[in-house]
Chains A and B, each alone.
Chain A
Amino acid sequence: DAGITQSPRHKVTETGTPVTLRCHQTENHRYMYWYRQDPGHGLRLIHYSYGVKDTDKGEVSDGYSVSRSKTEDFLLTLESATSSQTSVYFCAISGGRGPYNEQFFGPGTRLTVL
């Protein structure tokens, strides 16, 4: 298994509070991604990173920000959580020599916003 960990694994928070989710990898891969998974929607890309301090938006980025200060860590922040952000969040990494490579996924973080 690819060396990807996510923390916390479960979190319950209240509307309006800030939340930060952490993704940590030990594979030294260049690309890191944050997805959210909701019933009927599959996985949707929130933000991704193609290097330290290099990030870009995905299809559902509103209300989320990210940071990557080190190769191994990719943080996802909900500045002011809303109930619509209740979801399961997955981090993924990819690397390799080719321009297009499969992504490896972490175990997920289940976030509930009350």
Chain B
Amino acid sequence: AQSVTQLDSQVPVFEEAPVELRCNYSSSVSVYLFWYVQYPNQGLQLLLKYLSGSTLVKGINGFEAEFNKSQTSFHLRKPSVHISDTAEYFCAVIVTGGGNKLTFGTGTQLKVEL
């Protein structure tokens, strides 16, 4: 069975600093990868997705992620964060042949401080 690991449960960062949220997955078959963001007391919103093609994908709010097949990683990055980026971020994977079912990581709480 596939799994998704987000090693950092919390990431504190100062405003305007760069940030990287790490995501690793385990699967021996092709995967489709997603990052979602959840603001307090809200549902999840899609940030970006990798389905095929370029391994560097750009999403909303200035975020981007790079798919690295050899390292089975899909880290999320932003060059300069804003207070409004404070939220919880979830990495998720769909495994080919497994139906359209998402497996989520446990989430990373990004806290942006002044």
Contact = CB atoms under 8 A, between A and B. Distances in A.
A44 B100 contact: no
B32 to A, nearest CB: 5
A103 B101 CA distance: 9
A45 B36 CA distance: 16
Interface in B30-64: 32, 34, 36, 42-46, 49, 51
How many residues of B sit at the interface, in one of the four size bands?
Answer: 20 to 34
Nearest to B95: A100
Interface stretch (B11-19, B70-78, B102-110): B102-110
Interface stretch (A13-21, A35-43, A73-81): A35-43
Nearest to A99: B100
A107 B46 contact: no
A58 interface: yes
A102 interface: yes
B106 A40 contact: yes
Contact of B106 (A42, A90, A98, A108): A42
Contact of B96 (A100, A101, A107): A100
Interface of B: 6, 9, 32, 34, 36, 42-46, 49, 51, 90, 94, 96, 99-107
29 contacts: A40-B9, A42-B90, A42-B104, A42-B105, A42-B106, A43-B44, A45-B101, A45-B103, A48-B101, A50-B99, A56-B99, A58-B101, A90-B43, A90-B44, A92-B102, A94-B100, A100-B32, A100-B94, A100-B96, A100-B100, A102-B34, A103-B46, A103-B100, A103-B102, A104-B46, A105-B43, A105-B44, A107-B42, A107-B43
Given A94-B100, A100-B94, A108-B42, 12 more contacts: A42-B104, A43-B102, A45-B101, A45-B103, A50-B100, A58-B101, A100-B96, A101-B100, A102-B46, A103-B46, A105-B36, A105-B43
